[in-house]
Amino acid sequence: MTKDPAPGETLLRVRGLQKHFPIRKGLLQRQVAAVKAVDGLDFEVRAGETLGVVGESGCGKSTMGRLITRLLEPTAGSVEFQGKDITHLNVRGMRPLRRDVQMIFQDPYSSLNPRHTIGTIVGAPFKLQGVKPEGGVKAEVQRLLSVVGLNPEHYNRYPHEFSGGQRQRIGIARALALNPKLVVADEPVSALDVSIQAQVVNLLDDLQSELGLTYVIIAHDLSVVRHVSDRIAVMYLGKIVELADRQALYTQPMHPYTKALLSAVPIPDPRRRNTKSERILLTGDVPSPMSPPSGCRFHTRCWKATKICTTQEPPLLQLGPGQQVACHHPENAEDQAPQDTELLRAAVDAISVVTVGGGPVEEEPAGAASADPVSADSVSKDSVSGDRGSRDAESGAPVSEAPVSGDAASVDSPSEDPGTGSRPGTDK
Ligand SMILES: Nc1ncnc2c1ncn2[C@@H]1O[C@H](COP(=O)(O)OP(=O)(O)OP(=O)(O)O)[C@@H](O)[C@H]1O
Ligand code: SF4
Ligand SMILES: [Mg+2]
């Protein structure tokens, strides 16, 4: 028997976690390539905390969630829960652990069996684990339904009779049935209407205080995890690029990718609604996880990329109190490669900067805004500020028809005061 960790102690430890999905072809089904969905993650989840995990679609968030709940077998690396290595436990070995580790799935529409009543769905974990709750399964399921804000009388109804938000509450009730220690919630609100996203996030928050749960909450939007996370991990193409305490991440992001994601988050402070801010729009597509870029995977879209970024992968280093970052030229911190100051040509084209705001803005509930700077449709070359021509790449040649700034200092995002963005030796 393992001892329960006290609040703040490590509950889950992940080392070098990888999941490569093989691509097979031909009659012999030979492996011709692999999707490197998760490609070397190192992090801990502390008892009682909420770890938010954010990143664009396809960066490996769900795969990570399924790996740490052992719904998927990792290609490499290790997962420890309460000090016990669970990386290769088989179904039988995992059975006792299933009570402690639960998952809430991304899509409340497809994750509930339409042929089962919600009583059967929420009561299934008791049956699977052979647990007989005091007072019987029905009474316990009805209690769980009222805990998540549903009418216990609806025990015999079917999933299609419920709205999206209610279905997600059913998924939460099912996850809580066996009184788990760790709940991994995979985009718990992304399929819901904006108006009810905040309700479900608040429900998760309340349940955590009442039941002493530990959460890993996955989202593609920094605004969803903002109010509920203690720490946040930012993922890009199967890697964690920044892992920081909430306060540090939102006020002093160090990784350029975090800074770009943050610039797309609406300003929640009504006193600053009239403030103009600049949105960083990353240009270009996210590279394929089958053949991620060499060196730093973000270098094809990073406005600060230099030569070293194309050849050397930056390690995840502790660069500030409670803040780990994988970047050669971080924001708000000492440059890790100060000898390499020449911007790459691709870096010059990596972003557009769009000025937004300046007028009254309606306050939006958590998760209301698109946090995907790539998909933002407000790109306007006229509104872009900066002087790209003055900071050309390796060639040093001036660049014409410049819609954007290649000068990292000009892509500052004042909405959250994330620092100067300057690069030693490259600024004028
Ligand atoms: N079973 C699978 N076989 C092959 N490739 C897969 C499999 N599952 C996921 N992938 C690929 O792995 C990558 C990461 O997928 P994953 O679902 O983990 O991303 P995600 O960050 O959760 O994205 P989203 O925000 O869209 O949910 C994607 O390129 C996806 O196509
Ligand atoms: S500056 Fe270099 S290492 Fe840092 S995120 Fe950009 S490309 Fe990656
Ligand atoms: Mg996903």
Per-residue pLDDT at 197 exceeds 80 = yes
Instruction: List helix spans (H) across 212-270.
Output: 222-225, 246-251, 256-263
- Binding site membership of 144 for ligand 1 (Cβ less than 6 Å): no
Are residues 231 and 255 in contact, defined by beta-carbon separation less than 8 angstroms?
no
Q: Which of 31-45, 96-110, 305-319 has the lowest mean pLDDT?
A: 96-110
Are residues 54 and 235 in contact, defined by beta-carbon separation less than 8 angstroms?
yes
Q: How high is the pLDDT of residue 270?
A: 59
Mean pLDDT over 126-155 rounds to 92
Q: How high is the pLDDT of residue 160?
A: 94
Q: Say whether 233 sits in a helix, a strand or coil.
A: strand
List, chain by chain if needed, residues with CB within 6 Å of any ligand 2 atom: 255-256, 296, 298-299, 302, 304-305, 309, 314, 327-329
Output helix, strand, coil percentages for the chain, rounded to the nearest 5.
30, 25, 50
Distances (CA, A) of 267 to 174, 364, 390: 35, 9, 31
CA of 250 to the centre of ligand 2 (A): 19
Q: How far apart are the C-alpha atoms of 148 and 170, rounded to whole Å?
A: 8
Are residues 323 and 245 in contact, defined by beta-carbon separation less than 8 angstroms?
yes
Query: What is the number of other CB atoms lying within 10 angstroms of the CB of residue 68?
Result: 25
Residue entry with tokens 């059967």? 120
Q: How far apart are the C-alpha atoms of 7 and 254, rounded to whole Å?
A: 28
Are residues 302 and 394 in contact, defined by beta-carbon separation less than 8 angstroms?
no
Report which of 312, 291, 287 is spatially closest to residue 301, judged by C-alpha positions.
Answer: 287
CA of 220 to the centre of ligand 3 (A): 8
Query: What is the number of other CB atoms lying within 10 angstroms of the CB of residue 245?
Result: 15
Per-residue pLDDT at 365 exceeds 50 = no
Protein residue with its CA nearest to atom 5 in ligand 1: 21
Q: How high is the pLDDT of residue 267?
A: 60
pLDDT per position as a tens digit, 239-265: 999 999 999 999 999 999 999 999 877
Q: How high is the pLDDT of residue 274?
A: 61
DSSP annotation of 139: H
- Binding site membership of 82 for ligand 1 (Cβ less than 6 Å): no
What single-letter amino acid sits at 379?
A: V
- Tally of CA atoms within 13 A in the half-sphere of 23 that contains its CB: 9
pLDDT bracket for residue 395 (50, 70, 90): very low
Mean pLDDT over 401-408 rounds to 34
Residue 31 neighbours by CB under 8 Å, 6+ apart: 22, 23, 24
Q: How far apart are the C-alpha atoms of 118 and 374, rounded to whole Å?
A: 39
CA of 60 to the centre of ligand 1 (A): 6
Per-residue pLDDT at 282 exceeds 50 = yes
Mean pLDDT over 356-367 rounds to 46
DSSP annotation of 306: B
- High-pLDDT (> 70) share of the chain, %: 79
Mean pLDDT over 71-89 rounds to 95
Burial 99-111 (b: 16+ CB within 10 A, else e): bbbbbbbbebeeb
Q: How far apart are the C-alpha atoms of 395 and 62, rounded to whole Å?
A: 41
Query: What is the number of other CB atoms lying within 10 angstroms of the CB of residue 303?
Result: 31
- Binding site membership of 21 for ligand 1 (Cβ less than 6 Å): yes
DSSP annotation of 397: -
What single-letter amino acid sits at 209?
A: S
* Domains of the chain (ranges, CATH numbers): 10-233 (3.40.50.300), 264-333+340-359+370-416 (no CATH)
Q: How far apart are the C-alpha atoms of 408 and 59, rounded to whole Å?
A: 25
Q: Which of 108-112, 134-138, 263-267 has the lowest mean pLDDT?
A: 263-267
CA of 179 to the centre of ligand 1 (A): 29
- At CA 290, angle to CA 285 and CA 294, rounded to 5? 75
Q: How high is the pLDDT of residue 335?
A: 96
Question: Ligand 2 test: best mutation among 236, 239, 302, most atoms within 8 Å of CB?
Answer: 302
Question: Ligand 2 test: best mutation among 236, 299, 308, most atoms within 8 Å of CB?
Answer: 299
Mean pLDDT over 279-291 rounds to 88
Protein residue with its CA nearest to atom 3 in ligand 2: 327
What single-letter amino acid sits at 17?
A: L
pLDDT per position as a tens digit, 217-247: 999 888 888 888 999 999 999 999 999 999 9
